[in-house]
Structure 1
Amino acid sequence: MNTEDLLNQIAFIKEIDKVKYIQRKTKLFNSNRNENDAEHSWHLALMAIVLAEHSNEPIDILKVVKMVLIHDIVEIDAGDVFLYDTQKNHDNTDEERLAASRIFGLLPEKQAKAFIEIWEEFEAGATNEAKFAKSMDRLEPLLQNTSNNGGTWKEFGVGYQKVYEKKSVIKEGSQTLWTYAEGLINESVAKGILKKE
């Protein structure tokens, strides 16, 4: 047994406990309580397993699960940026890259490299796995907001066009899930919980 590697892995495990304290803007289904990043990542992992058959292309589901479980760990340092934030770009990859280097760098070198590669693959969104993982990441808050009578859309005055634009990424990973999501968006407009500009 390599004691140094084990101690580094334990240090990483302790550090990522901080993900549980990162509050997201989105609230849990039918709730007033904000979701945290750990809950979000866990939910995406199960969603990916359950919905994998709807991927546009064949995928390595274990890789997708890895992606969604680690994609927000960088927010320990970089913070959570609201998808619809008007002041700060959601794709704050410079800050996130530094965070990835520090946090994943706690792991033994080979493991750190593998985690960073998976995180970067998710961020790039080019592979079948990354496209499907991003579909999960955009679908979950949509389901939450529709369950909460508009949720963060209403709270922060987010309109139809912005929601449609941000959520259309879903189709890159799953046309089936996008068709469903698009229906929910249109239904939200019809119900008056999402405003057309």
Structure 2
Amino acid sequence: MQLTTTRLQAQIQFIVEIDKLKHVLRQTLLMDKSRRENDAEHSWHLAMMAIVLAEYADPQVDLLRVLKMVLIHDLVEIDAGDTFCYDTIALQDQAEREEKAADRLFGMLPENLGEELRSLWEEFEAKETLDAQFAAALDRLQPLLHNYYTEGGTWRKAGVTVEKVRKRMAPVAIGSPVLGEFVENLIQDAVRQKFIMQSEQ
């Protein structure tokens, strides 16, 4: 008796492969400053944020689709690695590296499932739909919270200015005006407490 089908074997292989996401370290410190966060922790945190903050999304936002997006959006970093958002050199070939990774990872799955996840990943990257815009807002808000509650965290380490932080956070207000206002208040307080540089040194 065959216990697994070819389809199930492919799905299990993919599940085993994405365990590697737990080893991809981000620049973001945990809020207790003990170590850097990994991509799997980041994705879990976003999923919880989506559930808790859903009331601040547009009423037409589909929470299940947002949850799928935030859980798969960084899978490509298994191959492409985490690209620090303020590293202008690394950002130059980020899209190319991540497209190649998407081809391999989503290609491991049965065709219909792989196409579904690839499509959600591409939608998240494009940030044109209401679902993707709310997911992107959460993706920007989460590291902001970490940097604020670690008293500057990677902002201080990388010498990031308030102008750069505001530019990076712009998608939050697009995905949720309420969260966008919250972010601006947090940035202003971070400047007051000298967590962020006001200009280039």
TM bracket, shorter-chain basis: over 0.9
Shift of 1:74: 0.2
Deviation, 1:91, is 7.4
Asked if 2 retains the 8 angstrom alpha-carbon contact of 1:30 and 1:144, the reply is no
The superposition leaves residues 46-92 of structure 1 with CA deviations (integer Å, 9 ceiling, x where unpaired) of 10111011013521000000000000000011110011113221772
- Scaled by the length of structure 1, the TM-score of the pair is 0.97
Partners in 2 of 1:2 and 1:128 — Cα distance? 38
The residue aligned with 1:75 is: 77
Determine which of 59, 65, 68 is the counterpart of 1:66: 68
Q: Secondary structure at the match of 1:40?
A: helix
Q: Could you tell me which residue of structure 1 aligns to residue 104 of structure 2? A: 102
Q: What corresponds to 2:188 in structure 1?
A: 186
Q: Distance in 2 between matches of 1:46 and 1:88?
A: 29
Counterpart Cα distance in 1 of 2:75 and 2:104: 11
The residue correspondences of 1:1-197 to structure 2 (distance < 5 A) are: 3-89=5-91, 92-197=94-199
Q: Which runs of 5+ in 2 are unaligned?
A: none
Q: In structure 1, what is the Cα distance between the partners aligned to 2:95 and 2:131?
A: 19
Hey, what's the Cα distance between the residues in 1 that align with 2:7 and 2:154? 42
Q: State the SS of the aligned residue for 2:89.
A: coil
Task: Name the SS of the counterpart of 1:35 in structure 2.
Answer: strand
| TM-score, L = length of structure 2 | 0.95
Residue pair 1:56, 1:175 contacting (<8 A) in 2 also: no
**Unmatched 5+ stretches in structure 1:** none
Equivalenced residue count is 197
Larger mean Cα displacement after TM superposition, 27-36 or 107-116:
27-36
User: What amino acid sits opposite 1:134 in the alignment?
Assistant: A
